[in-house]
Amino acid sequence: MDKGSCEILCDLYLIASKFAFRLVKQEEIGKALGLSQQSVSRILRDLESSGLIQRDITKEGEIIRLTQDGENRLASMLGEITKLIARNRIITLRGRVVSGKGEGSFFVSLPYYKEAFLKYLGFESYPGTLNLVLYDRQSIENRTLLDISKGIEIPEHREPDRILGSVKAFPAAINGISPAAVVLPSRTVHPRSVIEVISPYKLREKLGLKDGDEAEVEVLL
């Protein structure tokens, strides 16, 4: 999309979002957008000549309608913006598989967390986590983004004899396999260089992984 196309679509969005499908005067448009009446008139003529709007002009003002092409162009622009935002929200973490001490299996198997993962993440996790040690600088830097990002907050839960800590989770894909999630328990024995991944699958078997193998996790912030 070139600069000229961006400008005309921005004009189309501003006009359509505020003034379409109702009687309006150019002076009103100009006042709302901080433009002169002459600038508004030029913009409307350009949009009309481009086949993006239809104008019904009366003595009291005009009614502006999007044409089918105008709707299609706005929808296409929205799709491109949505893709751009999605790309900017995905980070990559690379690590090597390492065995845990069994805490992940115990943690994921607790009824509260099983139900919470199903409720908040949309899947019932395999009873265990896949642990990855981050090894490159970019992954370690990206790991800090998880700390400052909101994620999906699974609240703390109190039981008669214990308190189950809160968990922050991020939807993810590991080596292209999803659904999955990176989970950050508020109470953990792991250093920050280790991440835990959960999934409905037994990931070691699903991906053919063993200790020392590399894996790549794409995380949606």
CATH superfamily name and code, 90-220: Riboflavin kinase-like (2.40.30.30)
- pLDDT in the model for residue 120: 96
How many C-beta atoms surround the C-beta of residue 179 within 10 A? 15
Q: Give me 187's structure tokens.
A: 């109470």
Residues 133, 193 contacting (CB under 8 angstroms): yes
**80-133 residue pLDDT tens:** 887 776 666 899 999 999 998 777 788 899 999 999 999 999 999 999 999 999
Residues 74, 66 contacting (CB under 8 angstroms): yes
26: Cβ–Cβ under 8 A, 6 or more apart, which residues?
A: 37, 40, 41, 44, 61, 62
- pLDDT in the model for residue 80: 82
Q: What are the residue boundaries of the structural domains of the chain, listed by start?
A: 3-84, 90-220
Three-state secondary structure call for residue 8: helix
CA distances (Å), origin 186, targets 56, 132, 156, 204? 61, 18, 9, 25
**pLDDT band (50, 70, 90) for residue 78:** confident
**4-17 residue pLDDT tens:** 678 888 989 999 88
**48-60 residue pLDDT tens:** 999 999 999 998 9
Q: Is 163 exposed, middle or buried (0-12, 13-18, 19+ CB in 10 A)?
A: exposed
Indicate the pairing of strand 130-134 with strand 90-98: antiparallel
Task: Say yes or no to pLDDT of 201 above 90.
Answer: yes
Residues 12, 5 contacting (CB under 8 angstroms): no
- pLDDT in the model for residue 4: 67
Distance CA 18, CA 15 (A): 6
**118-175 residue pLDDT tens:** 999 999 999 999 999 999 999 999 999 999 899 999 999 999 999 999 999 999 999 9
Q: How far apart are the first and last CA of the chain?
A: 27
CA distances (Å), origin 44, targets 67, 84, 128, 140? 13, 29, 61, 51
3-84 is classed in which CATH architecture?
Answer: Orthogonal Bundle (1.10)
Distance CA 106, CA 142 (A): 28
